[in-house]
Amino acid sequence: MIRRFIFILFIGLQFGNVHAQTKTPDQLYGQLFIDVQMQNVLKDGKTFVDCIPKRDPAKILEDYMKLKNAKDKFSTLDFVKANFILPDTNTTIVITGNKPVAAHINQLWEALRRKPANKIANSSLLDLPAPYIVPGGRFREIYYWDSYFTMLGLQVSGENETIENMVKNFAYLIKQNGHIPNGNRNYYLSRSQPPYFSLMVELLAQIKGDQVYSTYLPALEKEYAYWMDQSAPTKHVVIMPDGSKLNRYYDQLNTPRQESYKEDVLIGRQAGSKNPEIYRDIRSAAESGWDFSSRWLSDGMHLNTIETTQIVPVDLNCLLYNLELTIQKCYALKHNTEKQKYFESLALKRKISMLKYFWSPQQSWFTDYNIKTKKQSPVLSLAGMYPLYFKLASLKQANLVKNVLQQKFLKPGGLVSTPINTHQQWDAPNGWAPLQWMAINGLGNYGFHELEKHVAVRWINLNTNVYKRTGKLMEKYNVVDLDLKAGGGEYASQDGFGWTNGVLLSLMKKYGYAK
């Protein structure tokens, strides 16, 4: 009886209130789901899982199996079009007029804004109570870590109510599901994303005052419990060789992602029996937000060698360090000395462990740690700038990091995610807005203001020049060859784009660029 209760509790943590959530697309459509995804019927695997059925899914599946087996020239595409409302697959946001980039972004907020809607039967979309901003393109829902960087621009635009609404939405997701899912789709419920909620609360507190900390303390603690396995065994905690606790990314499922089903199945076939956890490792890389990167690949190059769950990531642990400090601040404001000291001690223990396992004197960089090899990763990535952003590094370490950043990461358009070109989108030659922000502010924290501004100006110029040429703001950029688009990954580069807009507006304000 006790074991059964624990199992139910675990499932509840993974998928929230299971009775309140619609079945996921694979559960609803069975063989139809497999056929649509494996045959590339809708080109992008995310399209079908975002479709809305026009009638009872069980009846749709029954009719599909009959028609498929009875007709020689049966068209799966025609069947899908007849039985489903397809999402808008036009990824281009058209805003007329040749406007300065800041004015363009202010108009984009309206194009990217979504309002709460009545629950649609058998839709994969999870309800939210308040309006929110989506990234753009194929990303038609709210995304966790994207939203923090989007909020930076919303603050510049005076969209403070929107920021508060989005924080409310994330607190709602934590209350409903025990964590913030990757995005508000039921097929994302088995994982979270980089835990930026504490930074969102800090941002909102800057706008509304310290009472914000008290309001969101329950949500902060519940998210902390999810990452620290205090409610159920999510397996995010890693016991390091010295007995200290750090964290990793760990999706709760070991199946192909529904939104990238065919891509995952093909990689799984390549891996064969060499990695029975291949799908979990792929999903866990999606939880990291870095899907995909040489950071997670055992040979540093090929996706079928992915081993995300064996990696203890430096950026994740920095974010959890900040979460511990934020909860500590909440209790300090409530004058609860006992709990304040408790979370302060947790943060200190994590800091000591991070400096021990992530700092590489040989590479003069903060790297990930591999629990299988019991060695630091040979891959240098911009995740190594997070200890500077959160002021964990010593001044000596920060100086060494600055030198490596200039030598290996600084390119004509800003900072490259890693110096390695694997054809994965979170490697060279690509640069991403959130990583520029973390690195630029990390440099500023240690007084490296000349390099800080230099990186920021390169990124601003790249963004604005591409906008002048194309009228678009992109999800990611090629920072090495400024005449080429960013590439790699399992889908085309998207425009819109939430976090690019947010970081660009905030940097332009800070460095006095004309709007």
Instruction: Point out the residues that are catalytic.
Output: 291, 475
Residue with token string 């203001």: 449
Q: Is residue 370 within a helix (H) or strand (E), and if so which, with residue range?
A: strand 369-370
Q: In angstroms, rounded to a whole number, what is the distance separating the alpha carbons of residues 237 and 250?
A: 9
Q: Token digits for 455?
A: 């990186």
CA–CA dist 492, 495 (Å, integer): 10
Exposure letters 259-296 (e unless 16+ CB within 10 A, then b): bbbbbbbebbeebeeebebbbbbbbbbbbbbbbbbbbb
CB burial readout 398-424, b (16+ within 10 A) else e? bebbbebbeebbbbebbbbbbbbebeb
Q: What are phi and psi of 339, to 5 degrees?
A: -75, -30
Query: Which letter does DSSP use for residue 505 in this model?
Result: H
C-alpha 108/C-alpha 100 separation (Å) is 12
Q: What is the DSSP string of 43-82?
A: SSHHHHHT-EESS-HHHHHHHHHHHHHH-TT--HHHHHHH
Coil/strand/helix, residue 315: helix
β-bridge pairing 237-239 and 245-247: antiparallel
CA dihedral for 339, 191, 313, 430, sign (positive or negative): negative
- Name 376's bridge partners: 369
